[in-house]
Amino acid sequence: MRNDRLTALVLIAVSIFSLLESNRYGPLSRLFPRVVAVALGVLSLVLLVQSIVRARPGYRQKSVGLPSASGAEPAETGSSGDMRGMLFSLLVMVAWTLLLEPVGFWAASVLAFSTLVLILRTPGKTVVWKNILGGAILVTMFVLVFRIALRVPLPEGLLW
């Protein structure tokens, strides 16, 4: 419930910002963003009220539209999993995208792919070097297909 309240407040802020920002646009450019911003604000208010009402001790859960029971199945168990591994992987992914241009698409991808394989390995069970080799082969093949066959100009950077 606290999450919902926070989300609603953030979204209300977004809605107010959009309304203010759209003042600078011409009449036909601001119409649509305004309508949407107002809708977003109103809906977020509803969410805010809902979360406050439902957090009250005397509230009995109704049958429909339970905001708390939301999300896909993995989401409900999501926070319990390997959060550290997830965050490390996410950092690698961010680095991956940032390195694409300076280092080159192929090099950055092989590097980041291998790092992820290392982070995600199960000690004792995975034959790490085979997965790294497999990953490198896959990456190389895709890069070749895109560069040469499909003529997509993937960033070359320092190391191709």
Partner 1 sequence: MPAVLLALLQVIHPINLFLVTLGVGAGIVVGALPGLTATMAIALLVPFTFGMNVVHALVLLGGMYCGAIYGGSYSAILINTPGTPAAIATTFDGFTLAKKGHAYRAIVVATIASVVGGLIGVFFLLFLSPPLARASLRFGPPEFFWLTVFGLTIIATISPKSTVKGLIGGAVGLLIGTIGIAPIEGTIRFSFGTLALQNGISLIPALIGLFCLPEILDMIASRNEERSAVPYRSQRHMLRRVWRLMRRKPWLLIRSGLIGTGIGIIPGAGANIAGMVSYNEAVRVSNEPEKFGKGNLDGITASEASNNAGVAGSLVPLLTLGIPGAPPAAVLLGALLLKGFRPGAELFTVHATVTYTFMFSLIVANLVLLPLGLMLGKGASKVVAGLPVSLLAPLVFFLSVIGAFAIQNNIADVYVMLALGLVGYIGRKLGFQPGPIVLGLILGVMCEQGLVQSILIGRAAGMPVAIFFTRPISLVLIGLTLFSAGWPMVSRMRRRAAEPSHDSDSTMPSGGSHA
Partner 2 sequence: MRVQRMPRVAVVIIAVAVMVLPTTLFAAGGGEQGSFPTRAINYVIPFDAGGQSDITAQYQREVLERELGVDVVIRHQPGAGGALAWSALSRGRADGYTIAGNNIPHIVIQPLVRENAGYRTEDLRPVYMFQTTPIGLAVAANSPFNTLAELIDHARSNPGRVTVSGSGTHSGHHLAILQLQYLSGAEFTYVPASGAAPSVTNFLGGHTQAILANSDDLVQHRESMKILAIGTDGRFHALPEVPTFMEQGYDFTAGIDRGVTVPANTPEDIVRRLERAFDAVTRDPAFVTQMEAMGFEMQYLGADAFAEYVARKQREISTVLRELGEL
**Interface residues for partner 1 in 3-32 (CB under 8 A)?**
3-4, 7, 11, 14, 18, 21-22, 25-26, 28-29, 31-32
Alpha-carbon span 101 to 103, nearest angstrom: 6
2-32 burial string, b = 16+ CB within 10 Å, else e? Answer: eebbeebeebbeebeebbeebeeeeeeebee
If one asks whether residue 79 binds partner 1 (CB under 8 A), the answer comes out as yes
- When binding is defined by CB under 8 A, the residue of 9, 55, 82, 140 that contacts partner 1 is 82
> How many residues bind partner 2, per CB under 8 A?
15
Which tokens belong to 138? 């896959």
Q: For residue 156, give the H/E element and its range.
A: none
If one asks whether residue 78 binds partner 1 (CB under 8 A), the answer comes out as yes
Contacts (CB under 8 A) with partner 2, residues 100-159: 126-127, 130-131, 134, 137-138, 141, 145, 148-153
**φ and ψ at 118, to 5 degrees?**
-65, -45
Contacts (CB under 8 A) with partner 1, residues 114-153: 116-117, 120-122, 125-126, 131, 134-135, 138-139, 142-143, 146, 150-153
Alpha-carbon span 16 to 61, nearest angstrom: 31
Q: Which among partner 2, partner 1, none contacts residue 137 (Cβ within 5 to 8 A by kind)?
A: partner 2
